[in-house]
Amino acid sequence: MIESRRESTVHHRTLGSALEVSAVGLGCMGISHGYGPASDRADGIAVIRAAVEAGVTFFDTAEVYGPFVNEEVVGEALAPFRGQVAIATKFGFAFGSGARQTGLDSRPEHIRQVADASLRRLGVETIDLFYQHRVDPDVPIEDVAGTVKELIEAGKVKHFGLSEAGARTIRRAHAVQPVTALQSEYSLWWREPETEILPVLEELGIGFVPFSPLGRGFLTGKIDQSATFADGDIRGGLPRFSAEALRANRALVDLLATVAAGKGATPAQVALAWLLAQKPWIVPIPGTRNVQRLAENVAAADLELTADDLAEINEAAAKITVEGDRYPENMQRMIDR
């Protein structure tokens, strides 16, 4: 397996016009949210700090992860590294009693409240990248972009981002406040962004941050049709993780494993290297609670796929029909088209 080496060159990429980050970031959600019981706080902090030691300078969190606790863990973990790393967080959800997520809310006054609360939890003076987590159909995107523009002018935010936004929304937002990055799902088993989103981002000079670049763990090869998921693990409710879909989609993992065997790498590293090879302004953010997996993911930036490798992967992948929707219907409705 290609190993992570601290003495090796750290790969960097630029999102938008000015946000320079490591080529592979760390998605921190899973430490506190979405994949069963939260990690012990000390263990979560240890993984985040190990990422810094491995050369990661880009960390992704959100108020809704936990809710709220993930920002606190990320803030505490990165406190010794102020000025050396970039932290992205997000706004856009409403919460009811017991911090229960109740819907979308991107009203300007709410965005300002979230910014102040996130600054406190993260323990920073400025949010490096502030994403709208999901597009709110009840609030014009121009109002959202204008509010973030005011936060940038006030020194509370450095860069504006969108998540799961459609092409028209991206253009409208960018016309008010330049968008530094779009975060959406993208991997070998979810390639929808290639049709319309990637061309728009390239035209406008916007970076792309794929979440779930390893298919929520599926593309690592560690999950098969016999997998069961703990209470609180979102994969248990996703159509793509039904036993039937997992069985049908195994062909994609087999493809990655074949390429990996010839490269002295792992399927996960090939999946990440494939993403990195698509565009120089793509920065995937795989998540993990495991230091060994972290090192494996970061080392994917050292794996070079040739034009022939990429052609082989694309030709084989084109013959594989991926089964199962990525979200149930209630979650699909939150995706901007």
Report the chain's terminal Cα–Cα distance, integer Å.
39
Question: Whole-angstrom Cα distance, residue 54 to residue 5?
Answer: 8
Residue 45 near residue 76 (C-beta atoms within 8 A): yes
CA-nearest of 100, 24, 81 to 271 is 24
Q: State the angle between helix axes of 250-263 and 307-317 in degrees (0 to 180), rounded to the nearest 10.
A: 160
Residue 163 near residue 132 (C-beta atoms within 8 A): yes
Question: Whole-angstrom Cα distance, residue 207 to residue 130?
Answer: 14
SS3 337: coil
Q: Which of 35, 65, 131, 186 is catalytic?
A: 65
Is 131 known to be catalytic?
no
36 — phi, psi (to 5°)? 85, -165
Question: Whole-angstrom Cα distance, residue 232 to residue 36?
Answer: 4
SS3 22: strand
Residue 196 near residue 169 (C-beta atoms within 8 A): no
Question: Whole-angstrom Cα distance, residue 302 to residue 280?
Answer: 14
Q: Mind telling me the catalytic residues?
A: 65
